[in-house]
A and B are shown apart, each in its own frame.
Chain A
Amino acid sequence: MGCGTIAGLALTAAGTGANMYANNQVRGKMNDLTNQELARNQGFEQKAQGVFNNSLQQSTPQAANQQIGQGQQQLAGLIQNAQQVPLSSSTPSFGNVNTMAEGAKTAMSNKAASDLGGYSNYTLQQRLKDQQAGSQLGVIGSEAQGWANVLPAQLQQAQGSQQGLQSLGALLNAAGMLTGLSGWGSAATSGIDPGVNSAVNAANFNNNVGWMYPALQSPGALYGGY
């Protein structure tokens, strides 16, 4: 094996190393970015889950009863206030006017009206809390979507970040191959079977990772498995 061949192998090994380093850097960066996005997404998910759970807690039968009760009290209070306003002049009084019966009728009617009115408060409160939760979820979803849209660009940027080192690796590989060929030229003149060398060279060159030793030709073996 001549000096040219040794130099060629060294250059190829350097190129391969540079490529491997660059690829590892890219892979690590891409993994980091993906993990960051996943973590961010989990944060948004937790936030949204909180909003949803909070909204759900206001939709229980207990919450419904409470909201209906509040509405009934509210309307009963308003009716009471209205009926407390003194009339502009007194109603003529008759000896046999059954005010108790009239009062009872009015009280029943008031109760029925306020009971019914309570349900309008329930539907309103449900609509309001749904709308509020919807708004909050909208903001969270919009922010999550925004970040999800950023990830592809970040991954692309990460892929290109080691472009210089990858180019250097390719250059070294090419230089190694050329030097190896020149070594092969001198070996031919020194009696080494050039056919053997060229076959080995051809078999060992891999477009993806550059030069590989025969024992490491499996990419899985080289990177410890994908």
Chain B
Amino acid sequence: MGCGSSNAGDQLAGQQAQQQQWTDQSVQNINNAFAGFTPQFYQGVGQAYQNYQMPLLQQQYQSNKDQTGFKLADQGLQNSSQAQNMYNQLNQANSQGQQQIAQGALGQQQTLQQQVSNEQANLIGQAQTATNPSAIGQQAISNAASFAAPSSFQPLGQMFNNYATQYLGNQQNNAYNPATLALLSQYGGYGGYGGGGGGGYIPKAMY
């Protein structure tokens, strides 16, 4: 009489209340661990990417500018309209490179933001069954720190490839093209037509 009445309901309710407390505490710990990932942090990452890539772009720009100058000088075209066009194209390529770096910086920010959010969501998923909020909090701190560490960026690719292929490469080929040389010889070389101290007429076919 009265013996054997189960208190399984109370036990389960107690366990559930405890679980809820652990889950809430774990979520709190996770959110605290990821609190440093503010918009300013992501902007800093973008800026760091830009700061890393811009000197590389400048280096490439300088190299292509030098090559352009050498080629133009070699052909006596330094002050020609073609020189103007080539430098304009070089500057356009440089602007596009700068744009690409800016887009890359934004991409870096956004990728990192997505990764951080994925990791946070993953940890919160684990928190639903967590029995040790401290442990999950430690894990969150560790994971957050791995994102917060300075990123290593991929080196910049060849940003002036198109320019070099289209202008420097073609010009080089054309300079040694016997047909071109024969054509040019009719006008007395590069500086022989158009006057104006090597202003230079270049047959359109060359480009």
Binding site for B on A (CB under 8 A): 33, 71, 74-75, 78-79, 81-83, 85, 87-89, 91-92, 94, 96-98, 102, 105-106, 109-110, 113, 117, 120-121, 124, 127-128, 131-132, 134-135, 138-139, 142-143, 146-147, 149-150, 153-158, 160-161, 163-164, 167-168
Query: For residue A138, which residues in chain B have a CB less than 8 angstroms away from its CB?
Result: 124-125, 128
| Nearest CB of B to A117, in Å | 6
Asked whether, in the complex, the Cβ of B95 is within 8 Å of the Cβ of A139, the reply is: no
Task: List the A residue with the shortest CB-CB distance to B2.
Answer: A164
Query: For residue A105, which residues in chain B have a CB less than 8 angstroms away from its CB?
Result: 92
| Nearest CB of A to B49, in Å | 9
Q: Which of B6, B11, B101 has a CB less than 8 Å from the CB of A160? A: B6
Asked whether, in the complex, the Cβ of A94 is within 8 Å of the Cβ of B79, the reply is: yes
* Chain B 20-46 residues near chain A, CB threshold 8 A: 20, 23-24, 27, 43, 46
Among the stretches B61-69, B166-174, B181-189, the one at the interface with A is: B61-69
Task: List the B residue with the shortest CB-CB distance to A168.
Answer: B1
Q: Is B114 an interface residue (CB 8 A)?
A: yes
Asked whether, in the complex, the Cβ of B6 is within 8 Å of the Cβ of A157, the reply is: yes
How far, in angstroms, from A105 to B93 measured CA to CA in the complex? 12
Binding site for A on B (CB under 8 A): 1-2, 4-13, 16, 19-20, 23-24, 27, 43, 46-47, 50, 54, 58-59, 61-62, 65, 69, 78-79, 81, 83-84, 87-88, 90-92, 94-96, 98-99, 101-103, 105-107, 110, 113-114, 117-118, 120-121, 124-125, 127-129
Asked whether, in the complex, the Cβ of A75 is within 8 Å of the Cβ of B106, the reply is: yes
Asked whether, in the complex, the Cβ of B83 is within 8 Å of the Cβ of A94, the reply is: yes
17 intermolecular pairs with C-beta atoms under 8 Å apart: A75-B102, A78-B103, A81-B102, A82-B54, A82-B105, A83-B98, A87-B62, A91-B91, A102-B88, A105-B92, A128-B113, A135-B124, A142-B128, A143-B23, A146-B20, A154-B13, A156-B9
4 extra A-B contacts, CB within 8 A, seeds A78-B46, A78-B102, A131-B121: A81-B50, A96-B81, A143-B23, A160-B6
How far, in angstroms, from A92 to B72 measured CA to CA in the complex? 12
Query: For residue B90, which residues in chain A have a CB less than 8 angstroms away from its CB?
Result: 91
Asked whether, in the complex, the Cβ of A117 is within 8 Å of the Cβ of B98, the reply is: no
Contact status of A157 and B102, CB under 8 A, knowing A88-B58, A88-B61: no
| Nearest CB of A to B9, in Å | 3
Task: List the B residue with the shortest CB-CB distance to A171.
Answer: B1
How far, in angstroms, from A160 to B23 measured CA to CA in the complex? 31
Query: For residue B50, which residues in chain A have a CB less than 8 angstroms away from its CB?
Result: 78, 81-82
Asked whether, in the complex, the Cβ of B121 is within 8 Å of the Cβ of A167, the reply is: no
Contact status of A149 and B12, CB under 8 A, knowing A91-B87, A92-B87, A157-B7: yes
How far, in angstroms, from A155 to B101 measured CA to CA in the complex? 64
How far, in angstroms, from A17 to B16 measured CA to CA in the complex? 37
How far, in angstroms, from A163 to B20 measured CA to CA in the complex? 32
Asked whether, in the complex, the Cβ of A157 is within 8 Å of the Cβ of B103, the reply is: no
How far, in angstroms, from A153 to B7 measured CA to CA in the complex? 9
Q: Which of B16, B84, B106 has a CB less than 8 Å from the CB of A96? A: B84
How far, in angstroms, from A74 to B45 measured CA to CA in the complex? 13
Asked whether, in the complex, the Cβ of A74 is within 8 Å of the Cβ of B8, the reply is: no
| Nearest CB of B to A120, in Å | 6
Asked whether, in the complex, the Cβ of A157 is within 8 Å of the Cβ of B69, the reply is: no
How far, in angstroms, from A97 to B92 measured CA to CA in the complex? 13
Query: For residue A128, which residues in chain B have a CB less than 8 angstroms away from its CB?
Result: 113-114, 117
